[in-house]
Amino acid sequence: MSTVLRMTQVTKTYGGGDAAVHALDDVDFNIEAGEVVVVMGPSGAGKTTFLTIAGALLTPTSGTVEISGVNITALSEKELPDVRRERIGFVFQSFNLLEALSAIENVTLVMTEGSPKSRGAVNRASELMNMLGLGHRLKSLPRNLSGGEKQRVAIARALANNPDLILADEPTANLDSKRGREVMQLLRQIAFEMHKAVVIVSHDHRTREIASRIAWLEDGTFRPDVATDRDPVCQRVVEVQGSPAFSYESRSYYFCSTQCLELFKADPAQQLAGKRQ
């Protein structure tokens, strides 16, 4: 298996002096083709910084980032857009489709750089969209698509240039559980069958089901052997140690915040029943 993304001793510091904030602190991270790695962690842990550095959108303060063997930290600012377009596919939380473009145009756009569409691009986009179950939605505008359909169009766009690396930022956050599960299965399928490296940043505990491994990011570093559990109120994955906790019917529950804890305490049975639904 080949390493698609390799981050070595990556540090990102915002500000300077006493006010310096280390969003990422000496991080090492690798992912290989065919793997799905879910990056989890509390808010402010540095997940977005990690994703934007891995996505060649942000330059680290120090360290190196290699994508498919190319050291992108050695490239100039002008060279990075080509890396993003050709080597990385992005899947965003809020789909981020262009509203004036049809579903298929959103996909062909990244292949043709927005020039008049070529037959080859249209064929590939149609193929991808058929594969993702959107064959009947090619000409639909994003406003006429459901959340799940939009996210599948976004996945097709991410795959359009056949990149080695897919970076997904909270891909299920705006979807109901059924659609969210479908999207996760798609991402898993993409990694396993299309031999892509898929990095998912998520709070959604369901993403663990498809993960080859889970990386817990906290205070700008990946922490090994972190025990996690799911907040029964908001369904977020939380670190057991240090989180507000509550025992109910001989089981300990952990919460992302005191608000979730209080909600649970007010009516544990109902919260657990809601979770089961």
Partner 1 sequence: MLLVARKNLFSEWTRLVISVGGVALSVFLISLLLSLYRGWDEKVGGFVEHSNVDLWLGSEGAEDFLTAASLLPTEGKEAEQAKEYLNAYPSIDQWSPMIVRLMQGVRVDRISATEEKIGSKIDIHFIGFDPNTRLGGPIEVIEGRDTPGPGEVIIDEKLGDRHGIGIGDTLRAGGRDWTVVGKSRGGDFIATQTVFVSHAEAQAALRMQGATTFYVIKVRQGVDPAQLGAALEDQAARNEAPIVTHTREEFAKSTRDRVTSNVLPILFVVLGLAFIVGVSVAGLTIYTATIEKAREYGILKAVGFRNTYLYRVVFEQSAVTALLGFAVGIGLTVGIGPFASDYVPQFVLFTRWQDVLLVAGVTVVMALIAAYIPVRRLGAIDPVSVFKG
Interface residues toward partner 1, by CB under 8 A: 48, 51-52, 55, 57-58, 78, 81-86, 88, 90, 92-94, 96, 98-101, 105, 109-110, 112-117, 157, 169, 173
**In degrees rounded to 5, what are phi and psi of residue 248?**
-145, 125
Contact by Cβ (8 Å): 149, 137? yes
The smaller minimum CB distance to partner 1, of residues 111 and 261, is found at 111
Task: Give CA–CA dist 174/63, Å, rounded.
Answer: 34
- The torsion angles phi and psi of 40, rounded to 5 degrees, stand at -125, 170
Q: Closest distance between partner 1 and the C-beta of residue 245, in Å? A: 28
- Cβ-based nearer residue to partner 1, 27 or 107: 107
Q: Please, which residue, 36 or 83, has the CB nearer to partner 1?
A: 83
Q: What are phi and psi of 255, to 5 degrees?
A: -130, 150
Lookup: tokens for 170: 């909270």
Cβ 247 to partner 1 shortest distance, Å: 34
Q: Given the complex with partner 1, which of 201 and 261 has the nearer CB atom?
A: 201
The three-class DSSP label of residue 37 is strand
Write down the least CB distance from residue 199 to partner 1, Å: 13
Smallest distance from the beta carbon of 89 to partner 1, in angstroms?
Answer: 8
Neighbouring-strand partners of residue 30? 6
Query: What stretches of the chain show up as alpha helix (H) in DSSP?
Result: 47-54, 80-87, 103-112, 119-131, 147-159, 177-193, 258-266, 268-276
The two tokens of residue 256 are 């992302």
Report the half-sphere exposure of 160 (CA within 13 A, side-chain side).
Answer: 28
CB of 169 or CB of 182, closer to partner 1: 169
Least distance to partner 1 from the beta carbon of 106, Å?
Answer: 10
DSSP assigned state of 277: -
CB of 105 or CB of 231, closer to partner 1: 105
SS3 state of residue 223: strand
Shortest distance in whole angstroms from residue 17 CB to partner 1 = 24
Q: How far is the CB of 168 from partner 1 (least distance, A)?
A: 11
Of 115 and 185, the one with the shorter C-beta distance to partner 1 is: 115
- Both structure tokens of 123: 């064929």
Please, which residues bridge with residue 10 across strands?
27
Which CB atom, from 34 or from 42, has the smaller least distance to partner 1?
A: 42
Q: Are 147 and 94 in contact (CB under 8 A)?
A: no
Report in angstroms how near the CB of residue 224 gets to partner 1 at its nearest: 26
Q: Tokens in use for 150?
A: 């939009």
